[in-house]
Amino acid sequence: MPSRTSSARKSMTVADYDYAVKCIVLGDSGVGKTSLVQRLNDNGKRTMKTTPTVEGIYHAKSLKIDQRTIQLSIWDTAGQEAFRSVTRIYYRGASCAIIIYDVTRRSTFNSLQSWLDDLKAHSSNSKAVLVLVANKCDLVDERAVSHEEGQLFARRHQMSYLETSAEKSTSINSMLELVSQEVYNNIKIGSIVPNPESNGIRVGRKPSASEQEDERRQKSSCGC
């Protein structure tokens, strides 16, 4: 039986993930960023009413993607204009960004370009995965931004598009699976080389020989 000391040393030196990925959540105040992120760990239960986020709040979530464990470090950021300078601190080293708007408030949709411009101006990663999320899709009668408008904006800016509802726990896991899959696809084909400083991706356990061979085939097939 291993000693407690050797077990503790092992837990400190051997990562239980293949890739750790930094992800930031952006959008105007009140669009439901915090509510969506809170749903990741509450098993679908209704959460308490949230208050506006002032500083970034960190959440962790691990997902299995193509037999690899992706550990997402999700940063829920402030949406108020007064705290935009604080939010920019979290842009650096982000490998993906989830940008959220409220389908019942057109002003939050109109702000999307500003969030994108701000991210591009202050991010250290020019190849960050971008996902556009239309939240509160359950409020059909109050909808002010159509599904088609959201999709069109996403296509124009080369973003994936998803509709969610924090109230009904709709597509929240799908949102994270989408982000994780896109980041891992970029790693496989070599368009992103993991680097925790520039793109927020840290390698955990060392891939096996067969896994490395699979990734080499992926790169060859895409001509990378």
Domain containing residue 160: CATH number: 3.40.50.300
Which residue ranges of the chain lie beneath pLDDT 50? 1-13, 43-55, 79-83
pLDDT at 46: 43
pLDDT at 122: 86
Kindly state whether residue 75 falls inside one of the protein's structural domains. yes
List phi, psi (to 5°) of 62.
-105, 135
Kindly state whether residue 26 falls inside one of the protein's structural domains. yes
pLDDT at 42: 56
Kindly state whether residue 174 falls inside one of the protein's structural domains. yes
pLDDT at 115: 93
Kindly state whether residue 132 falls inside one of the protein's structural domains. yes
Kindly state whether residue 167 falls inside one of the protein's structural domains. yes
Kindly state whether residue 10 falls inside one of the protein's structural domains. no
Cα distance between residue 66 and residue 51, in whole Å: 37
Residue 62 CB neighbour total at 10 angstroms: 13
Q: Rounded to two decimals, what is the model's pTM?
A: 0.78
Burial of 176 (0-12, 13-18, 19+ CB in 10 A): buried
Domain count, the chain: 1
Kindly state whether residue 59 falls inside one of the protein's structural domains. yes
> Mind listing the pLDDT tens digit for each residue in 87-141?
778 888 888 999 999 999 999 999 999 999 999 988 878 889 999 999 999 999 9
Q: Which domain holds residue 210?
A: 15-221
Cα distance between residue 196 and residue 210, in whole Å: 25
